[in-house]
Chains A and B, each alone.
Chain A
Amino acid sequence: MPDSPLLEVRDLQVHFPIRKGVLQRARGVVRAVDGVSFAIGRGETLGLVGESGCGKSTTGLALMGLTPATGGIVRIDGMAPQRLRGAAMRAWRRRMQIVFQDPFSSLNPRQRVADILRAPLDIHRIGTPAERRERVADLMARVGLRPDQAGNYPHEFSGGQRQRIGIARALALRPDLIICDEPVSALDVSVQAQILNLLSDLQEEYGLSFLMISHDLGVVEHVSHRVAVMYLGRIVEIADKARLFEAPGHPYTELLLRSAPVMDPRRRRRFSAQANEIGAAGAAPGGCAFAPRCPLATDLCRTTTPALTPRDPRQSVACHHR
């Protein structure tokens, strides 16, 4: 990876107020994303993995400005959007795009595919009308849709084809980085493989970077160069893929790996029915959020939040005992 990262995220926070009572006063705060920092290089895929409610999707939305961040800095090639205006701001925004999980709800049912794909070009005033038409045709061909389908509506497509439309839309503005928020979780296994292959082809062809948000360890392990593990709003471990899967540093990463079923009936693990439940983000006490479920937890863990600390250049872990 080159020295200066393409995307740099420092101390990103997304806090939502909890409103209660008749006057809807803020009575507390949900720290959905609580100080998340990472970087992604050119042509690199960073996997962001964690369970529901850990804040991984909110992280993606905040990077896109689709949910307001309450703190932190996002830089692309060293540039933060705060001081940008007008055309410079639009140019900044073009560089990062998103593909959503649900190809059913993320496409306007009343727009034809051609209109869906042309919208980003119209908004950013790219090319002449003829050039835009040509670009739409190119995009459709690139993601494996037939040109005669341009006049069809989303409901006329299967789930996998709809996800191809979503990917084509993200590609329309020639971004450097695409945030993929669970791009294959709604799809059947055979179709999922088609979409993952398409994404890897696109990465090779255009040198794209991906932030691959997923709960599926198999998907993350397949596509990522590096992997970040989130738990209740924080990154608890970030490491090279091989290191993370071979020598996980954080007890939560270990739990995740131990829980994932393996495609080999000769290497079965004995799953246990322990009743440890995931904590709620609103009720996270001081200290390490994983402490209530952690076999290593001590008093220190319950009072002091461990910082994400590098063990070596390949792996950083947020744990007092590792």
Chain B
Amino acid sequence: MRIAAESGAFEVVSGLSLAVRPRETLCIVGESGCGKSMTALALMRLLPEAAQVSAGSIRLGGQDFLALPERRVEDMRGDTIAMIFQEPLTALNPVMSIGAQIAEAVRRHRDVGRAEAWSRAVAALATVRMPQPDLRARQFPHELSGGMRQRAMIALALVCDPDVVIADEPTTALDVTIQAQILGLLSDLQERNGAAVVLITHDLAVVAEVADRVIVMYAGRKVEEAAVTVLFDRPLHPYTLGLMGAVPRGKGGAGRLADIPGTVPALWDLPAGCAFAPRCPRASERCRRERPDLRDHGAGHLVACWNVDDAR
């Protein structure tokens, strides 16, 4: 699958390929502005009007998802492919009870009556371990705590057993104990339904806990991809190395963190060669001139860097 979204005159995501199989969790990790959320929206065909997929294709269970008519996509959204957003308050309808919202989704995709749809909604809330699901189904989003809202949104996304779940920073706004519950919940549900999960996050520790494979993005491009143990054992791209060094881990006391100098470049003002070159400790003349392509460094460990061999 290749996506290239274009807003106005600049590319937001360029030449990104990814594949995710049933029961697999693929994590896309990167900092703000790397294009990970745009990727999620493109996968759902929910890009804002200004953005377009200018090249590439998305195949979903063998179908060309980008070529399907909008009505067919609406049939599939929530049924075949579903999305969990970071901020449930903006994703949920504020003037509808959460039970009614979930029941609406059920009736949109399944030929069932009101009563049956409602009971499936309550069952979906029970599945996500919502306390008192009967009561909560009748409540509105503002009446629930952040963790309960996130559960409600997950129930809404998963009520029709989608084959593919796109989760964009699903736990970023949550406290760490609630995050642990939500991550546990996602993996339970995945085990049961066999769904393929694309989890988008900035948090490498979350990646380490849940991913099977990982894609690291920088400035709209994939810079590294590997199985999770491979990536954490032997990160090869200098950006991945930098990110891992920058995460405070406590051990060894208050030493200095390996910060990455500078900031992420603006997508409309990318440098000519490798976008990471201005911040990279290994950048050479070639990096500033020529953009490196992804190359396989063994067993599907893809890296886009001219100086990988030195980085080992």
Residues of chain A whose beta carbon lies under 8 Å from any beta carbon of chain B? 45, 51-52, 158, 160, 188-194, 196-197, 200, 215-219, 221-225, 241, 245, 255-256, 258-266, 268-275, 277-278
5 closest residue pairs by CB, A with B: A221-B250, A271-B184, A222-B248, A193-B259, A193-B246
Looking at B178, B180, B228, B247, the one whose CB has the most chain A CB atoms below 10 A away is: B180
Cβ-defined contact, A274 with B181, below 8 A? yes
- B115 proximal to A (CB < 8 A): no
| Closest CB in chain B relative to A33 CB, distance in Å | 18
Cβ-defined contact, B264 with A278, below 8 A? no
Cβ-defined contact, A273 with B257, below 8 A? no
Cβ-defined contact, A261 with B181, below 8 A? no
The answer to whether residues A264 and B208 also contact, given A189-B202, A221-B250, A278-B145 and a CB cut-off of 8 A, is: yes
A221 to B232 Cα, complex, angstroms:
21
Q: Which residues of A contact B245 (CB under 8 A)?
A: 193
| Closest CB in chain B relative to A231 CB, distance in Å | 11
The answer to whether residues A193 and B263 also contact, given A217-B176, A277-B145 and a CB cut-off of 8 A, is: no
Cβ-defined contact, B175 with A262, below 8 A? no
Q: Which residues of A contact B261 (CB under 8 A)?
A: 194
Counting contact residues on chain B (CB < 8 A from A), the size range is: 35 or more
A188 to B201 Cα, complex, angstroms:
11
Cβ-defined contact, A215 with B176, below 8 A? yes
Cβ-defined contact, A188 with B209, below 8 A? no
Q: Which residues of B contact A263 (CB under 8 A)?
A: 204-205, 208, 232, 244, 247, 249
Cβ-defined contact, B148 with A277, below 8 A? yes
Q: Which residues of B contact A265 (CB under 8 A)?
A: 208-209, 211, 228-229, 232
Q: Which residues of B contact A45 (CB under 8 A)?
A: 254
Q: Which residues of B contact A188 (CB under 8 A)?
A: 31-32, 202, 264
Cβ-defined contact, A273 with B184, below 8 A? yes
Q: Which residues of B contact A189 (CB under 8 A)?
A: 31, 202, 204, 243, 246-247
Q: Which residues of A contact B148 (CB under 8 A)?
A: 277
The answer to whether residues A218 and B229 also contact, given A193-B257, A193-B260 and a CB cut-off of 8 A, is: no
Offer 26 A-B interface pairs, CB within 8 angstroms, sorted by A: A188-B264, A189-B204, A189-B243, A190-B31, A193-B248, A200-B254, A200-B256, A216-B248, A217-B250, A222-B250, A222-B254, A222-B257, A223-B254, A224-B254, A259-B176, A261-B183, A261-B208, A262-B205, A262-B208, A263-B244, A263-B247, A265-B208, A265-B229, A273-B188, A275-B181, A278-B147
Cβ-defined contact, B204 with A266, below 8 A? no
A189 to B78 Cα, complex, angstroms:
33
Residues of chain B whose beta carbon lies under 8 Å from any beta carbon of chain A? 31-32, 128-131, 145-148, 175-185, 187-188, 202-206, 208-209, 211, 228-229, 232, 242-250, 254, 256-261, 263-264
Across the two chains, which residue of chain B brings its CB closest to A222? B248
A275 to B145 Cα, complex, angstroms:
12
Q: Which residues of A contact B254 (CB under 8 A)?
A: 45, 200, 222-225
A181 to B184 Cα, complex, angstroms:
29
Cβ-defined contact, A261 with B246, below 8 A? no
Q: Which residues of B contact A223 (CB under 8 A)?
A: 248, 254
Q: Which residues of A contact B211 (CB under 8 A)?
A: 265
The answer to whether residues A193 and B202 also contact, given A256-B177, A265-B211, A275-B131 and a CB cut-off of 8 A, is: no
A18 to B229 Cα, complex, angstroms:
51
A261 to B250 Cα, complex, angstroms:
13
Cβ-defined contact, A275 with B130, below 8 A? yes
| Closest CB in chain A relative to B49 CB, distance in Å | 25
Across the two chains, which residue of chain B brings its CB closest to A184? B248
A298 to B131 Cα, complex, angstroms:
22
Q: Which residues of B contact A245 (CB under 8 A)?
A: 250
A219 to B147 Cα, complex, angstroms:
23
| Closest CB in chain A relative to B92 CB, distance in Å | 18
| Closest CB in chain A relative to B237 CB, distance in Å | 13
The answer to whether residues A273 and B181 also contact, given A256-B176, A259-B176, A263-B247 and a CB cut-off of 8 A, is: yes
A88 to B233 Cα, complex, angstroms:
57
Cβ-defined contact, B259 with A194, below 8 A? yes
Across the two chains, which residue of chain A brings its CB closest to B246? A193
| Closest CB in chain A relative to B141 CB, distance in Å | 16
Q: Which residues of B contact A222 (CB under 8 A)?
A: 248-250, 254, 257
A216 to B174 Cα, complex, angstroms:
11
A274 to B128 Cα, complex, angstroms:
10
Cβ-defined contact, B129 with A271, below 8 A? no
Cβ-defined contact, B180 with A264, below 8 A? no
Across the two chains, which residue of chain A brings its CB closest to B32? A188
Taking a contact as CB atoms closer than 8 A, the residue among A193, A197, A215, A258 that contacts B175 in the complex is A215
Q: Which residues of B contact A221 (CB under 8 A)?
A: 248-250
A255 to B183 Cα, complex, angstroms:
15
Q: Which residues of A contact B177 (CB under 8 A)?
A: 51, 255-256, 259, 278
Cβ-defined contact, A262 with B179, below 8 A? no
Taking a contact as CB atoms closer than 8 A, the residue among B175, B248, B259 that contacts A219 in the complex is B248
A223 to B304 Cα, complex, angstroms:
34
The answer to whether residues A218 and B208 also contact, given A190-B259, A223-B254, A278-B145 and a CB cut-off of 8 A, is: no
Q: Which residues of B contact A196 (CB under 8 A)?
A: 248, 257
| Closest CB in chain A relative to B30 CB, distance in Å | 9
| Closest CB in chain B relative to A213 CB, distance in Å | 14
Q: Which residues of A contact B131 (CB under 8 A)?
A: 275, 277
Cβ-defined contact, A197 with B259, below 8 A? yes
Looking at B183, B187, B246, the one whose CB has the most chain A CB atoms below 10 A away is: B246
A222 to B251 Cα, complex, angstroms:
7
Taking a contact as CB atoms closer than 8 A, the residue among A197, A259, A261, A273 that contacts B203 in the complex is A261
A198 to B66 Cα, complex, angstroms:
47
